[in-house]
Amino acid sequence: MLKDKKKQRKPLPWSRNAKSGNTKSDNTAEVPQLSYSVGAKILAERNAIPAEAYRMHDVKRGLRNNNGTGVIVGLTHIGEVCGYNLDQQGNKIPMEGKLYYRGYDIEDLVNSCLEENRFGFEEISYLLIMGELPSKKELDAFCRILGDYRELPTGFARDMILTAPSKNIMNKLARSVLALYSFDDNPDDISVDNVLRQSFQLMGNFPAIISYAYQAKSSFFDRMSLHLHSPIPELSTSENILRMLRPMGEYTELEAKLLDISMMLHAEHGGGNNSSFTTHLVTSAGTDTYSAIAAAVGSLKGPKHGGANIAVINMMNNIKENVPNLNDRGKLDDYLVKIMKKEAHDRTGLIYGMGHAIYTLSDPRAKILKSMAKKLAESKGLIDDFLLCDYIERHVPRLYAEVHKKEVLMPANVDLYSGFVYDALNIPIDVATPLCATARLSGWCAHRIEELVAGGKLMRPAYNSVQKHLDYTPIAERKSLFF
């Protein structure tokens, strides 16, 4: 039997691929071609707002005050980020960074797991969502619930992931979260008990989604062999992730424990970070859990938010390519200066992994991860790569002051060492941000529940219009902007 030939699609009137000149529509009328590039220039003019207008209207651009602190838009029990104190004049007083989950110091939470040689991400997730540390029985029951949700719904991996691979795992993750709505018998019920059930289910599902999405992407687009491993309910989240990502499913205890710690450190960072705020914002509209979490995934995908660890990996690779002998500190300094002067790497002038919007003297997450990263480096023969991170942490503030003629507090942030850890664990760069999403999911779900319980009001910030009022112009009298 002969297959029907696919109909050739005509270029749309406004089409990137449309040829210049006129084309015929179905009714044979000539339709002029519009240009995206011309449209972009018009939009740049029509939407530009001068900086002085923001000052005149006292707009808190980026929801930030003039001193760089965040505008207070809500209250939370879940996370607290401490990076500075304020004096009576509102000036920042630097301090060593602290991070609290439900009132507990993250350093105490991580150190307890290290001392007892056990995984801690599941305990952290329970703490964030339920509001208190679990007993041994409660933690075991919670882990069993997550284990029951490790397997995706029947046919989901095939129909939603493998048959429609994406070049970007975060986009596939967001699409998969939205698709899970159709597999839920009660998706729109936003009662706390139902949202709690949905939260646990998503936490169980995420490792398989990101792992299968990566396998589908690498097979379809990168022409690599397809390796699919079923999750094992009894394993921890970090163990399942490493097992499903790797072709043979192998991993060491040190690797799994280090990934577990990294996920503990990324699980929550206060309600003001972009993706957690997105969760609050979308939840305040009364929407379903899947829509709210998909929106948070979209926020985290942004390179200004969750993509920073990828930027660190790319920067480190670029440095090693251009400074083959990392022990030549003079050449290393020279290249770091070139990066800061926008003469090398991506020409942004940024040293990724350095500095933070809140932390001033130190990022507690970086301090914790650094000590574990050194152990990993020693076990894998990557001590030179680790020492490169350490050198950047210690010397970039000095080099920055020399280049820009001013001293700025610039502590290493968590991405400097999480980027190294992911690279040392041979975690594909495509999965770095999805891993962050998997870790942050418990924080997002906690913030969603908090908004449902304590919010109760649709978030609706104000925008002042700076557009002049215009008289209507009949179509026959309008001038063409394109032609």
Residue 196 has pLDDT above 80, yes or no: yes
pLDDT at 394: 96
Whether the CB-CB separation of 374 and 324 falls below 8 Å is answered with: no
Residue 23 has pLDDT above 60, yes or no: no
Residue 376 has pLDDT above 50, yes or no: yes
Kindly list the domain boundaries of the chain, sorted by start residue: 96-306+429-455, 309-424
| Residue 452: C-alpha distances to residues 75, 189, 196, 268, 297 (Å) | 13, 12, 11, 18, 19
For domain 309-424, give the CATH superfamily: Cytochrome P450-Terp, domain 2 (1.10.230.10)
Residue 16 has pLDDT above 80, yes or no: no
Categorize the per-residue pLDDT at 456 as very low, low, confident or very high, splitting at 50, 70 and 90: confident
Annotated active-site residue in 280, 345, 356, 447: 356
111-114: long-range contacts (C-beta < 8 A, 24 or more apart)?
113/260, 113/261, 113/264, 114/261
Catalytic-residue membership of 415: yes
- Choose between 12 and 453: higher pLDDT: 453
Average pLDDT across the chain, whole number: 92
Please tell me the least confidently modeled range out of 191-195, 203-207, 388-392, 418-422. 418-422
Phi-psi region of 342 (alpha: psi -120 to 50; beta: other; left: phi over 0): left
Residue 443 has pLDDT above 80, yes or no: yes
With a pLDDT cut of 90, the percent of the chain lying above it is 83
Whether the CB-CB separation of 454 and 192 falls below 8 Å is answered with: no
Mean pLDDT of 312-324: 94
**Predicted TM-score (pTM) of this structure:** 0.90
Residue 28 has pLDDT above 80, yes or no: no
Categorize the per-residue pLDDT at 308 as very low, low, confident or very high, splitting at 50, 70 and 90: confident
Catalytic-residue membership of 345: no
What confidence tens digit (pLDDT) does each residue in 76-127 have? 999 999 999 989 888 889 999 999 999 999 999 999 999 999 999 999 999 9
What confidence tens digit (pLDDT) does each residue in 57-67 have? 999 998 988 88
Categorize the per-residue pLDDT at 135 as very low, low, confident or very high, splitting at 50, 70 and 90: very high
pLDDT at 27: 53
CATH class entry, domain 96-306+429-455: mainly alpha
Annotated active-site residue in 260, 363, 385, 415: 415
Q: What is the spatial distance between Cα 49 and Cα 54, in angstroms, rounded to a whole number?
A: 8
Categorize the per-residue pLDDT at 26 as very low, low, confident or very high, splitting at 50, 70 and 90: low
pLDDT at 29: 59
Q: Which of 41-55, 182-196, 309-323 has the highest mean pLDDT?
A: 182-196
Q: What is the spatial distance between Cα 57 and Cα 63, in angstroms, rounded to a whole number?
A: 14
Categorize the per-residue pLDDT at 69 as very low, low, confident or very high, splitting at 50, 70 and 90: confident
